[in-house]
Amino acid sequence: MLSFEGVYRKRGGTLLSGLFGSDPFDFWVGRFYVGLFGAISLGATFLGIAVIAFAISRIGDGDLARVTITAPLREYGLGFAGFDQGGAWQTIVILATVAFAAWALREVEICRKLEMGYHVPIMFSFAISAWLVLQVIRPLLMGCWCEGFDLGFTGHLTWVSNTGFRYQNFYLNPFHAFGVLGFFLTAMVLGMHGSAILGTYNTDPDPVKETSNVDNFWRDYIGYSIGELGIHVLGFWLAIYTLIMSDLCILTSGTVVKDWVDFWHFSIPWFH
């Protein structure tokens, strides 16, 4: 344990301790906090990995690069499918969703222990929203689990390509374009921030002066520095914007828009 870690390792602030006054999961393994939701998340993850391994063994393709656990066929609609007919996919999707949600709730309990804001679980929940939209919400809206993406490296990429072309030209989906813009912008500002921090690391024994070295660099270079807190607030909102656009891009495809080429054939009178 590092010298300051003891300060943060306080029991309590968890759901179970709030409800019953005690929490048997309120402990650490090494430097990792476990907690009720950590145990649920790990349990669902191990079970999910076991189902994946079992499903792969039945497919009989030992090549992990191309092995794919496919979504149920269209004939099953929103019903349950047999294990080899898409039931494996359904089981894995349920277990993965439980694992992701429990992990977000574990983050909430850690935030409560550290008496900090909920920014981390909020941000992670937006990442989970992409998974939920793709695998649960859009299939429900389209009336078929077959709409979810297949699980596997090549399988999910094939799904993206097929789904993109099914709506003619996915580049013409404006939410997709705004999402792409957000991913690129987020990567760029993260790269700018990371390189500025690493570039000024150890330039001054005083961390406050080190921070002003970063500010000075950007003011010298582009005439403006968003500041230490500002860059993190920008990253937070950029990532949320990006994920909302990505959610909208796939949520609208097939539900309200069937053809993104045709979508642009509207006419705004004052535009021409």
> For binding to ligand 07D (CB under 6 A), which residues are involved?
92, 96, 100, 127-128, 130-131, 133-134, 151, 160-161, 163-165, 170-171, 176, 179-180, 183, 243, 246-247, 249-250
Q: How far is the CB of 136 from ligand 07D (least distance, A)?
A: 12
Straight-line distance from the first to the last Cα atom of the chain, in angstroms, rounded to the nearest whole number: 68
The residue written with tokens 């943060």 in the block is 8
26 or 247, CB closer to ligand 07D? 247
Task: Give the count of beta carbons closer than 10 Å to the beta carbon of residue 32.
Answer: 8
Q: How far is the CB of 100 from ligand 07D (least distance, A)?
A: 5
Helices (H), the chain: 5-8, 15-20, 35-59, 87-114, 119-132, 138-142, 153-166, 174-200, 207-222, 228-251, 260-263
67 or 134, CB closer to ligand 07D? 134
Q: Is 10 helix (H, G, I), strand (E, B) or coil?
A: coil
Q: Are 129 and 150 in contact (CB under 8 A)?
A: no
125 or 225, CB closer to ligand 07D? 125
- The residue whose Cβ lies closest to ligand 07D is 164
Q: How far is the CB of 175 from ligand 07D (least distance, A)?
A: 8
13 or 174, CB closer to ligand 07D? 174
Residue 248: what residue type?
L
Pairwise CA distance, residues 208 & 229, whole Å? 13
Residue 102: HSE in the Cβ half-sphere, 13 Å Cα cutoff: 18
Q: Is 33 helix (H, G, I), strand (E, B) or coil?
A: strand
Q: How far is the CB of 239 from ligand 07D (least distance, A)?
A: 10
67 or 92, CB closer to ligand 07D? 92
Cβ-in-10-Å burial (0-12, 13-18, 19+) of 256 comes to exposed
33 or 89, CB closer to ligand 07D? 89
Q: How far is the CB of 204 from ligand 07D (least distance, A)?
A: 38
Q: How far is the CB of 115 from ligand 07D (least distance, A)?
A: 26
